[in-house]
Structure formats: structure tokens, C-alpha cells
Amino acid sequence: MRRHLPHALATALVVATTLLQAAPASAQPPSEKRNGPVRGGVPYATREDAMQFADEIAARRNLDRKWVRETIGNARQLPNVPRLMLPAPTGTPKNWYVYRSRFIDPVRIQAGVRFWRANADTLARAEAKTGVPAEIIVGIIGVETIYGRNMGNFRVIDALATLSFDFPDAHPRAAERRAFFRGELESFLSTESRTAENPMIPVGSYAGAMGMPQFMPSSIAKYAVDFDGDGRIDLVNNPADVIGSVANYFKAFGWKPGMPAIFPVSLDESRLQKSVLLAPDIVPTFSTDAFVAGGAVLRGDALKYNGLLALVELQNGGETATYVAGTQNFYVITRYNWSSYYAMSVIELGREVRAAMEQ
């Protein structure tokens, strides 16, 4: 839920900012807790820019022009959604302890245990096929929607239209994000045109993410799979497809089977080159030798690791920051949501669920 617009954001979830940093698309605002779809306001049929874009989609995708115009025209603006896309105020402190507490709690852990036990064979099959550990898959689904409990109540067409045509100009990347959401709207309509379903029915997050894994439309098109072989992909009601699709997403972004996502690390202040180690952010850059030479202290298996590492800093408000050594697989998790805080929540929730399973 940091997300740039790197390729991951452009193909996965988009999330709004929290007091810490962008949170996952499943972190719904209070209005999304209501029963039934959130109601939009003015329809886009009266908007010339929306109708022009509808014509462009129809021509580009070879879709029925009338159908595209009617679908976008019937979408309604969601007045409160644009402000949810604005960054947190400058100076807002990040706090890993607070962020973690939102996702690592007894309710989510016990829901994870139930989900894992009910889908153990499918999780094992996905891990065997892709190399993505079951606990990472379980962690993602739990952080995103509490295993389907909170998939969002915004009509997807309303959310995508609102962010395509009314994305806030005050955002520092307004043009880039507006283009992103227009791409997602086009992908959504392209997919819906090939089904017999009503495009006004699907609901999701205020950013247009859908289903248990909160995939954006382009991610559904590229990475979702029919993992149980029933002839259709269902990310809302079919845990097998959800599990297989999450695993496939990570495989596509370069998950390395058997590689830990993180190693414990401490810092030797007497020789620490913190600015050097933090400069690449979460991108794995340093060999183990270079990492240690910069003042990072590794122990055990980490000293035998022959891949690249990143020093991941998790701020804790005014308290001492938490640090871990991130591998390529940690970076892959952030392709789902461009945030080290998010990735750590996924890792720790998966670990907690596994531990609870073994009790």
C-alpha cells in the first residue's frame, strides 16, 4: 500500500496515504464500511472529457462505441475519493510500531489460521509450482482484505472514472497518476467487454482494486490465473484462484525460491556509513562484504548469503528506528505495494499465522 509509479504500482494495487505512508488498498476509509455500494454523485455522461476518452478506448480496443460511452457515462463521481489520493502532510512521522499494529493482531492472525487450514493443499501446490512460500501468500491476503472480509464497497467503475477524470491536481504526480488510472479504466472495460457481466456491478476499494488480493484491472489481466481449472478466474469467491494469482504475481516479478526475504541486522556505529547504505533505499545493491564494510552487522546464515542486500530502515516516530537487511525477495514483495512497512507487515503476519498454526 508506497507505491511511484514504478511498474508494480502500475500493475498492482494503488493505495492512499496514511499518517505513516501509503497504506494498502484494503485500508478503507470509514465510508467504505457501510452496507451496499458507496453511492457516487454526478454521472460522467455530461462530461465532454469523459466521453472523448470513451471514444478513444472504443477505437483503440475495438470495442462497441455505444457500450463504452454508456458505461463510462453511467459512472458517478465519488466526491470524497480524490482527497484520499493526496500525500500525507509534510513532516508527518512514520512509525513502524503503529503501522504494524494495524495488521498484526489476534483477529487477523486467527483468520489467517482458518484460511491456511482450509486451503492447505492449494497453498502447498502454489508453493511447489512457484517457489513462493505459503506464509507470504497468506500474509498478503491477510493484510489486503483479512481473507476476503474487507474487499471494498465502491463500484469499480465509479472509482476508476473518478480517479481518471477528477484526480486531484494538488498531487505532486497528478498527471502521471491520472494517466495510470485511465489505463486501469481502459483495462477494466476491455476485460468486462469479454464477459456477460454487468460492468456496473463489481465493487472494490476506492482505488479500484478488486477481490481478496486487491488486484487492479491490469494486474488481473496480466497475472490472475484459473488455479483450480474450473474454466474461469474468480478473485472474489474462489480462494484457489486467489492463492494461485498472488503466487503467480510474485513469480512474474522475480521471486527467488528458497531465498529469505530479510535477515536480522544491527549497526556498528564506530564504522557505520549509514547514508551510503540507505542511499539505494530498498533496492538490493550491496554484496555481503560491502554491506558489512559499511557498518552493518550480520550473523549466522546471513554471512553465507551470496546475493545483494539493502539496508531497510523502519522509522518509529521519535524512537530508535528498526533495521533489517532486505534481499531480492523483500524487494519483490514491495512490487505488490511499494512500501517497506507494507512488506514487513506481510512477512510478520505470515510468520505469526504460521506460528499459531504450529501451536
| Residue 357 forms part of a structural domain | no
Where is the domain boundary, 175, 206, 227? 227
What is the largest distance, in Å, between two alpha-carbon atoms of the chain? 69
What amino acid positions are annotated as catalytic residues? 144
pLDDT, residue 35, reads: 57
| Residue 101 forms part of a structural domain | no
The answer to whether the beta carbons of residues 181 and 133 sit under 8 Å apart is no
For 329, other C-beta atoms within 10 Å of its C-beta total 26
pLDDT, residue 7, reads: 35
pLDDT, residue 225, reads: 98
| Residue 359 forms part of a structural domain | no
19 and 75 assigned to the same domain: yes
| Residue 218 forms part of a structural domain | yes
Where is the domain boundary, 205, 227, 249? 227
| Residue 247 forms part of a structural domain | no
280 and 221 assigned to the same domain: no
Digit-coded pLDDT (tens) for 293-312:
999 999 999 999 999 999 99
pLDDT, residue 3, reads: 35
Split into its structural domains, the chain has a count of 2
196 and 320 assigned to the same domain: no
221 and 312 assigned to the same domain: no
pLDDT, residue 224, reads: 98
Starting from the edge strand earliest in sequence, which strands make up the sheet with 319-326, in order? 262-264, 319-326, 310-316
- The 3 state secondary structure assigned to the chain is CCCCCCHHHHHCCCCCECCCCECCCCCCCHHHHCCCCECCCCEHHHCHHHHHHHHHHHHHHCCCHHHHHHHHHHCECCCCHHHHCCCCCCCCCCEHHHHHHCCCCHHHHHHHHHHHHHCHHHHHHHHHHHCCCHHHHHHHHHHHHCCCCCCCCEEHHHHHHHHHHCCCCCCCCHHHHHHHHHHHHHHHHHHHCCCCCCCCCCEECCCCCECCCCECHHHHHHHCCCCCCCCCCCCCCCHHHHHHHHHHHHHHCCCCCCCCCEEECEECCCCCCHHHHHCCCCCCCECHHHHHHCCEECCHHHHHCCCCEEEEEEEECCEEEEEEEECHHHHHHCCCCCCHHHHHHHHHHHHHHHHHHCC
195 and 79 assigned to the same domain: yes
187 and 285 assigned to the same domain: no
274 and 160 assigned to the same domain: no
| Residue 106 forms part of a structural domain | no
pLDDT, residue 323, reads: 98
Query: Which amino acid belongs to residue 282?
Result: I
pLDDT, residue 92, reads: 78
Digit-coded pLDDT (tens) for 136-155:
999 999 999 999 999 999 99
86 and 170 assigned to the same domain: yes
Domain that holds residue 68: 7-91+152-227
pLDDT, residue 27, reads: 36
pLDDT, residue 166, reads: 97
For 134-137, the CB contacts below 8 A with 24+ separation are: 134/350, 134/354, 135/350, 135/351, 135/353, 135/354, 136/250, 136/261, 136/333, 136/346, 136/347, 136/350, 137/243, 137/246, 137/247, 137/350
304 and 167 assigned to the same domain: no
The answer to whether the beta carbons of residues 74 and 200 sit under 8 Å apart is yes
201 and 288 assigned to the same domain: no
32 and 83 assigned to the same domain: yes
Q: 326 forms bridges with which residues in the sheet?
A: 262, 310
Dihedral sign for Cα 183, 345, 127, 232, please: negative
CATH of the domain at 69: 1.10.8.350
pLDDT, residue 164, reads: 98
Low-confidence residues in the chain, pLDDT < 50: 1-34
- Cα angle vertex 106, ends 103, 107, to 5°? 75
211 and 273 assigned to the same domain: no
